[in-house]
Chain A
């Protein structure tokens, strides 16, 4: 009796063929979709521009240059002794995103950071704000002389890109 009510539709070879056909079509469609998604990722020529070399020799102490790396501003700051001392005197437990100044530099006099506010992506202004560093005009985030977030809505310190000194006055970013 139970068989008659529940098993009214028996499984047949046709059911198997339907499921198999559908499965092949679904896998094929999924594989065919990938090129249409991947085409929006950065293209080969964009990736080829992903590292740049920067000559540091023209930047005097206390000054900053901004270079374009992957379409983003990178701040290269030639810091004064006062800047460095101020950054290193900050007690680490006061920081929202705890990081020592030593962790953020290769050579203490050169601070290299992505100049994009970690709040919503504006470019902070140099030599402004309450901490002798940077100030973002969009929503009022203050960064110190090491580029660490001290006040305002941004959650993280200004990002440090991967970079290395090729010689004393040249770095390669990326």
Chain B
């Protein structure tokens, strides 16, 4: 990069539009904590997944027809006739799952190492906004193939809004553009599904801006003391992120080529039929914990509010967690409850995947109560009563001692 800037023309250009020195500043010289572990790979992987979704999505849009009578057939044509269409569609469908996998791991990393705490609250909020946008985008994308799961997923999710008292019904009709999910709904979902990823890109830019302004958190969760705590992003973390991308792509390829429909539902290969609901409808796996919370509450409005609250509560996390220690490494009590929360989310996932019968109902209710208990009661109390282990003096010291 420095060699490039010695070139006369490039220096002239950079002086007028500093793209090169900006890139150099943010992607090469950028000081990153010297002790980042592999849990810090998921941010760049989420970026990779977003790019993959946008590129494959633009290509799929070249062949897809957003019309209720033609959408299903156009997707089948992509699978059978378009050159590499099967590959591109499977990349997009599995890419959505992998996007959620890395984003959930990215969020779990933030929860474990306290990355949401001051001074990174806005960074955390922007991440949650990205998550909400991803959920909306993924939901609308799943409607586009216009199979049975698409149609009934769209019906169920849009009907969530009918729980709102008085104005619920008009809002749902407004969302549908009719009296049921139909061609108008499909068209607007296609339009928004194309738009929202670029909104996500915009929020990602803000997310990175906030990150580079306050710098990365690190596994010790302590503030940086000076230049000895940092190493330049390039080559140390570019190469580490590249290695992570390699591992990610291997796992992605395994699903892509050997189990492309593992995370999908066979019912979505049946064309949408507004007169018959499939016997057992479930959302995609990444929505299952939230779906379980929705069903756990035996009240329509209550279920919808609980599901919404399960995500919006995360916006308050920087203040619900009363401990000033960021990293769970130095929080012996919090560490246990972190893993309990992870288990609780997995349990909720299984509850969401199974029909709401038998012991799944009380189990999902217990898991839902625990989810809110963790954030509203346990986190504030742990912060007050926990005795943290002593923090190291600096990031550099334990690294250089070893």
**A residues within 8 Å of B by Cβ?**
21, 25, 34-36, 38-41, 43-46
Asked whether B242 lies within 8 Å of A39 as measured between CB atoms, the reply is no
Assembled-state Cα–Cα distance A98/B239 (Å): 63
Q: Which of A21, A39, A41, A46 contacts B88 (CB 8 A)?
A: A39
Show 8 residue pairs from A and B whose CB-CB distance is below 8 angstroms, ordered by the A residue. A21-B239, A25-B242, A36-B55, A36-B59, A38-B83, A39-B88, A44-B82, A45-B81
Whether B236 sits at the interface, judged by CB under 8 Å, is no
Chain A's closest residue to B84 (CB) is A35
Asked whether B63 lies within 8 Å of A39 as measured between CB atoms, the reply is yes
Chain A residues, CB < 8 A from B242: 21, 25
Chain B residues, CB < 8 A from A38: 83-84
Asked whether B77 lies within 8 Å of A39 as measured between CB atoms, the reply is no
Chain B residues, CB < 8 A from A39: 59, 62-63, 82-85, 88
Assembled-state Cα–Cα distance A105/B87 (Å): 44
Assembled-state Cα–Cα distance A41/B173 (Å): 41
Whether B80 sits at the interface, judged by CB under 8 Å, is yes
Assembled-state Cα–Cα distance A45/B78 (Å): 10
Least Cβ distance of A47 to chain B in Å? 9
Question: CB-CB contacts of B105-148 with A at 8 A, as 1s and 0s?
Answer: 00000000000000000000000000000000000000000000
Interface size class on chain B is 10 to 19
Asked whether A43 lies within 8 Å of B82 as measured between CB atoms, the reply is yes
The 6 A-B pairs at the shortest CB distance, nearest first, are namely: A35-B84, A44-B81, A45-B81, A43-B81, A38-B83, A43-B82
Asked whether B62 lies within 8 Å of A43 as measured between CB atoms, the reply is no
Least Cβ distance of B251 to chain A in Å? 16
Q: Which of B32-87 contact A (CB under 8 A)?
A: 55, 59, 62-63, 77, 80-85, 87
Task: Apart from A43-B83, A46-B81, list 11 A-B contacts with CB within 8 A.
Answer: A21-B239, A21-B242, A34-B84, A35-B88, A36-B59, A36-B88, A39-B62, A39-B82, A43-B63, A43-B85, A44-B82
Q: Which of A21, A25, A41 contacts B83 (CB 8 A)?
A: A41
Asked whether A44 lies within 8 Å of B80 as measured between CB atoms, the reply is yes
Chain A residues, CB < 8 A from B88: 35-36, 39
Assembled-state Cα–Cα distance A63/B81 (Å): 38
Least Cβ distance of A54 to chain B in Å? 25
Chain B residues, CB < 8 A from A43: 63, 77, 81-83, 85
Chain A residues, CB < 8 A from B62: 39-40
Chain A's closest residue to B243 (CB) is A21
Assembled-state Cα–Cα distance A34/B59 (Å): 12
Chain B residues, CB < 8 A from A35: 83-84, 87-88
Chain A residues, CB < 8 A from B84: 34-36, 38-39
Assembled-state Cα–Cα distance A40/B85 (Å): 10
Chain B residues, CB < 8 A from A46: 81
Assembled-state Cα–Cα distance A38/B88 (Å): 11
Least Cβ distance of A32 to chain B in Å? 9
Question: CB-CB contacts of B139-159 with A at 8 A, as 1s and 0s?
Answer: 000000000000000000000
Least Cβ distance of A18 to chain B in Å? 8
Chain A residues, CB < 8 A from B77: 43, 45
Assembled-state Cα–Cα distance A46/B85 (Å): 14
Question: CB-CB contacts of B197-217 with A at 8 A, as 1s and 0s?
Answer: 000000000000000000000
Pick the most buried of A34, A38, A39: most chain B CB atoms within 10 A of its CB.
A39
Chain A's closest residue to B239 (CB) is A21
Least Cβ distance of A10 to chain B in Å? 17
Assembled-state Cα–Cα distance A35/B78 (Å): 13
Assembled-state Cα–Cα distance A43/B63 (Å): 10
Least Cβ distance of B182 to chain A in Å? 27
Assembled-state Cα–Cα distance A41/B82 (Å): 8
